């Protein structure tokens, strides 16, 4: 595939793997992309700006201000210019800055202000790569919506052997091409996804809620978007970067707000995924002032919230496809199938929430997928991105898409 017309920012940080960036730039240019390099000062200890500038056909930017020319490099403009930002190699130091949102050079400032997706290719020594702080930072970077490429295993510059090598430039090129290749199966389809918890106010400073992270819904949104769908997300309060991912996003707080936002667009949707953990109850009244302790018991009167899936299930047209989730701690299959019927779902996905790694808080999940026609598909314990892919494949089969 040609990358003609694609504008790619390539960030280089201080790692011996920076020499491979030259090959990556050559491959991107050969594929037709426009490439602008941004290097940290320490990256330039490993590779000369002359090499990178010659290959990319543009000067390498490193400082905010170029003393020799008096030129100011505007990180906001750079961020807006790009269709994709590839940081290769990504050092542990710059990764930590990305994870923290700290910004002390042109590369980190451009990262924070860019609106395009970011692909990260870490490179470091094997023990650094396995250090819990680095693992946490990689997870954080992924949770912000960055595409994190795994480091490869092999001989390292230190002489040790293990995982930490930057992904080879030809494989990074494949990832870039994959990113720009439209996946056709769901193109023209509109998908609505509710995700995250809802919060129901008790008073101005307290609320009832649950542990939903919204990660499963987010993984589904990414999977359907990558497969060509137009994705509309209605999200409760979650710590996920949903903006600038190519989705339409409505952020809401309560179940009532989530219902209004979902109902407003429901009729135009082809596929609706109810991934939100909507609070089933809310306090009958939210106190206008902070409830003070009075040394005695406090009773709360809770009233039921609207059930989005049930209400919108009543309005479902024959051409629409509804997917629900069921989080059960006992009699999983029986309860999930009962929900499938009661809420008029076409498919229900059961999380049993019994094993470590399943459900709300984790990046992994293990599910059973029940189709209304009786077919059941069971997954292993997998990353949520793979569970999302599995669900997508099931919907594809059900709708006869290829």
| Among 84-92, 207-215, 226-234, 301-309, the segment contacting ligand CTP (CB under 6 A) | 301-309
Q: Is 305 in the site for ligand CTP (CB under 6 A)?
A: yes
Answer for which of 129, 224, 274, 370 binds ligand CTP (CB under 6 A) is 274
Q: Quick one: which of 152, 168, 257, 307 contacts ligand CTP (CB under 6 A)? A: 307
Nearest to 88 by CA among 137, 145, 134, 46: 46
Interface residue with ligand CTP, options 276, 387, 391, 395 (CB under 6 A): 276
Interaction of residue 308 with ligand CTP, rule CB under 6 A: yes
Tokens at residue 17, please? 């793997």
Report the relative pairing of strands 364-365 and 321-327 from DSSP bridges: unpaired
Helix axes 18-30, 169-180, angle to 10 degrees: 40
Select the residue interacting with ligand CTP from 255, 271, 387, 395 (CB under 6 A): 255
217 binds ligand CTP (CB under 6 A): no
DSSP E strands in 312-390: the ranges are 321-327, 347-351, 364-365, 367-371, 376-378, 382-383
Give the residue with the Cβ less far from ligand CTP, 207 or 274: 274
Displacement of CA 121 from its chain's centroid (Å) = 17
CB of 331 to ligand CTP, least distance (A): 11
Active-site position among 74, 93, 210, 335: 210
Site for ligand CTP contains 325 (CB under 6 A):
yes
Using DSSP, state whether 124 is helix, strand or coil.
coil
Q: Smallest Cα–Cα separation from 12: which of 27, 25, 26, 31?
A: 25
**Residue of 327, 347, 369, 388 that binds ligand CTP (CB under 6 A):** 327
* Residues paired with 327 in a beta bridge: 351
Spatial distance between the Cα atoms of 252 and 214, rounded to a whole number of angstroms: 13
Looking at 55, 61, 87, 309, which residue binds ligand CTP (CB under 6 A)? 309
Among the residue ranges 59-67, 131-139, 292-300, 323-331, the one whose residues contact ligand CTP (CB under 6 A)? 323-331
Q: d(Cα 246, Cα 340) in Å, to the nearest integer?
A: 30
348: Cβ–Cβ under 8 A, 6 or more apart, which residues? Answer: 323, 324, 325, 326, 336, 337, 339, 340, 369, 370
What residues numbered 30-69 form the site for ligand CTP, per CB under 6 A? none
* 210 noted as active-site residue: yes
**What are residue 235's DSSP bridge partners?**
195, 251
Q: Which of residues 336-375 bind ligand CTP (CB under 6 A)?
A: 339, 343
Binding status of residue 280 toward ligand CTP by CB under 6 A: yes
Any residues with CB less than 8 A from the CB of 174 and at least 6 apart, and which? none
Tell which positions 173-212 bind ligand CTP, by CB under 6 A.
194
**Residue 271 touching ligand CTP (CB under 6 A):** no
Q: How far is the CB of 1 from ligand CTP (least distance, A)?
A: 37
Interface residues with ligand CTP (CB under 6 A) are 194, 255, 274, 276, 278, 280, 305, 307-309, 324-327, 339, 343
Q: Which residues are catalytic?
A: 210
């Amino acid at each position: 595939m040609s990358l003609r017309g694609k504008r790619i920012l390539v960030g280089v940080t201080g790692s011996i793997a920076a020499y491979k960036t030259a090959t990556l730039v050559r491959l991107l240019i050969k594929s037709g992309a426009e490439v602008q390099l941004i290097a940290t000062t320490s990256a330039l200890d490993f590779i000369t700006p002359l090499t990178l500038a010659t290959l990319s056909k543009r000067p390498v930017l490193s400082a905010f201000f170029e003393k020799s020319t008096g030129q100011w490099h505007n990180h906001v403009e750079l961020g807006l210019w790009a269709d994709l930002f590839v940081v290769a190699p990504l050092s542990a130091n710059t990764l930590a800055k990305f994870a923290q949102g700290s910004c002390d050079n042109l590369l980190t400032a451009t990262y924070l202000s860019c609106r395009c997706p970011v692909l990260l290719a870490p490179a470091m020594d094997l023990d650094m790569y396995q250090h819990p702080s680095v693992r946490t930072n990689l997870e954080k970077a992924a949770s912000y919506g960055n595409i994190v490429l795994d480091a490869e295993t092999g001989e390292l510059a230190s002489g040790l052997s293990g995982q930490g090598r930057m992904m080879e430039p030809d494989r990074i090129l494949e990832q870039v091409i994959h990113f720009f290749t439209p996946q056709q199966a769901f193109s023209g389809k509109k998908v609505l996804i509710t995700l995250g918890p809802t919060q129901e106010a008790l008073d101005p400073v307290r609320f009832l809620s649950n542990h939903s992270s919204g990660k499963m819904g987010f993984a589904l949104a990414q999977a359907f978007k990558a497969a060509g769908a137009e994705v509309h997300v209605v999200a409760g309060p979650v710590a996920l970067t949903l903006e600038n991912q190519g989705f339409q996003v409505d952020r809401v707080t309560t179940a009532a707000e989530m219902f209004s936002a979902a109902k407003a667009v429901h009729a135009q949707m082809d596929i609706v995924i109810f991934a939100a953990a909507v609070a089933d109850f809310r306090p009958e009244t939210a106190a206008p002032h902070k409830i003070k302790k009075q040394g005695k018991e406090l009773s709360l009167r809770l009233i039921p919230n609207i059930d989005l899936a049930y209400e919108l299930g009543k309005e479902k047209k024959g051409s629409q496809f509804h997917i629900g989730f069921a989080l059960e701690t006992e009699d999983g299959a029986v309860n999930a199938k009962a929900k499938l019927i009661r809420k008029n779902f076409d498919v229900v996905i059961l999380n049993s929430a019994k094993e470590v790694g399943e459900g709300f808080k984790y990046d992994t999940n293990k599910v059973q997928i029940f189709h209304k026609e009786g077919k059941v598909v069971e997954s292993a314990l997998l990353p949520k991105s793979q569970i999302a892919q599995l669900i997508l494949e099931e919907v594809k089969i059900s709708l006869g898409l290829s």
